[in-house]
Amino acid sequence: MLKNRGNTVRISIYAIVILLSAYLIFSGKVELDPVYTRAFVIITSLIIANTGILASREIDVIAAKMTKKFKSIKRISMLLVAITFLVSIAMTNDASLLILVPITVEIGIISRKSLLNTIIMQIIAANVGSMLTPFGNPQNIIIFLRYHLTATNFIAGAFPAFAISTILLFTFTFFLVKDGKLKTNYKAKKPHMPLFYSSLFIFVIDVIGMLLSYSEYFFLAMIAFSILILAFVRIPGSKRLGTLSRIDILLILIFFIVFMIFGSLSSVIPLPKNSSFLYQFIYAILISQVISNVPASVLLKTFNFIPLLWGVNIGGNGSVIASLANVIGLRQTKDKRKYTLFLKTSFLFLIINAAIAAIIISL
């Protein structure tokens, strides 16, 4: 009864958002910038492809095999943070957390150990790793498309901030995570390999299509293809269309609203005209703390490439809402101390990271 009521409320919210968005667009009160429209379609395709990868459980198996080799909390934490970091480079920050944080939680339950510090460092690792690639997170996709960059130019621009953040990430992990004995007998369920390979194929094609500037119609076709796969694949133990129902529609709608509303606001809200790289860098960090880094990257479209890229990526740390990845990571653990400990760690990381990057960007 409660489940049906929850579904009704959720569907009602979706309907209201869609109708309101349609009204604003067709009434002419809101105009969708072609760059944001294309970014939204790409992100949607990536989210749906990630759904299939996660549902297949293959990455769970890979991670489970790796964790069995370690018996130390510090070693397993360094490994989990490193895997999260690498997956966020290869895929997206959200996907890395959705895949790996549940494994960390399960290892903590099995071993009766608190791995909250590890989870917090995984969240930071997802923000750090994803800043290197054009497809690592939504704000990078926006910036990559807006400034008409090549993958080489983007990575070259992001690398200095990425290098600083990476050194800090593993330094923080080493000193903040306390050592101890750990039993890692996590057993993953049998994966659905056809779903894994087909979803991974679509994800890779999406990335290639973005880098080669394919049209929106290409990504719409990939979305349709992904939905068909999820609709017809049935994982053992799940209901009919159960895999399709895993698509995070609310997350997709959030991105749609962000691009629609903040893309329009950027044309009417006065933005700072100071062209100083240092000023724009600090401003991007501060506004990310308040409205999140994806809306910030949409709103600050008059900023220079480097300070905006560094600002919204480094600014993903700090407050809980600074990055959607923070929310996704924290909501997967029930530890009552999660928000207090996250804010202490994340803000300290942000302050040190921003200070070093500010010195470099002002040279």
Please tell me whether residue 21 adopts helix, strand or coil conformation: helix
pTM of the model: 0.80
Q: Which residue has the higher pLDDT, 168 or 299?
A: 168
What span, in angstroms and rounded, lies between the C-alpha atoms of 243 and 232? Answer: 9
Q: What is the mean pLDDT of the chain?
A: 84
Please tell me whether residue 181 adopts helix, strand or coil conformation: strand
Opening angle at CA 175, ends 173 and 178, nearest 5 = 90
In tens, the pLDDT along 169-183 reads: 999 999 998 887 766
Tell which residue, 163, 118, 88, has the closest CA to residue 323: 88
What pLDDT score does 4 carry?
47
- Phi/psi at 227 (nearest 5 deg)? -65, -40
Q: Which residue has the higher pLDDT, 309 or 24?
A: 309
Counting the structural domains of the chain, the total is 1
Residue 3 in this model has a pLDDT that exceeds 50: no
Highest-confidence range of 12-16, 32-36, 271-275, 315-319, by mean pLDDT? 315-319
What pLDDT score does 185 carry?
63
Q: Let me know if residue 53 belongs to a domain.
A: yes
Highest-confidence range of 5-9, 129-133, 212-216, 272-276, by mean pLDDT? 129-133
Q: Let me know if residue 84 belongs to a domain.
A: yes
What pLDDT score does 15 carry?
61
DSSP-assigned letters across all residues of 278-330? HHHHHHHHHHHHHH-HHHHHHH-TTS-HHHHHHHHHHTTSSSGGG-HHHHHHH
Least confident of 19-33, 205-219, 255-269: 19-33
What pLDDT score does 2 carry?
42
Q: Let me know if residue 290 belongs to a domain.
A: no
In tens, the pLDDT along 65-92 reads: 766 777 788 888 999 999 999 989 987 8
Residue 236 in this model has a pLDDT that exceeds 50: yes
What pLDDT score does 30 carry?
58
What pLDDT score does 217 carry?
93
What pLDDT score does 188 carry?
67
What pLDDT score does 16 carry?
65
- Phi/psi at 287 (nearest 5 deg)? -70, -30
Q: Let me know if residue 362 belongs to a domain.
A: no
**Six-digit token pair at 96?**
């890395």
Q: Let me know if residue 11 belongs to a domain.
A: no
What number of CA atoms fall less than 13 Å from residue 347's CA on the CB side? 11
Q: Let me know if residue 79 belongs to a domain.
A: yes
Q: Which domain holds residue 170?
A: 32-266
Q: Residue 89's Cα: distance from chain center in Å?
A: 11
**Six-digit token pair at 225?**
């293809």
Residue 273 in this model has a pLDDT that exceeds 90: no
In tens, the pLDDT along 108-157 reads: 877 777 889 999 999 999 999 999 999 899 899 999 999 999 999 999 99
Residue 215 in this model has a pLDDT that exceeds 80: yes
Opening angle at CA 296, ends 318 and 315, nearest 5 = 25
pLDDT (mean) for 241-247: 81
Q: Let me know if residue 218 belongs to a domain.
A: yes
Share of the chain above pLDDT 70, in %: 84
Q: Which residue has the higher pLDDT, 267 or 217?
A: 217
Q: Let me know if residue 118 belongs to a domain.
A: yes
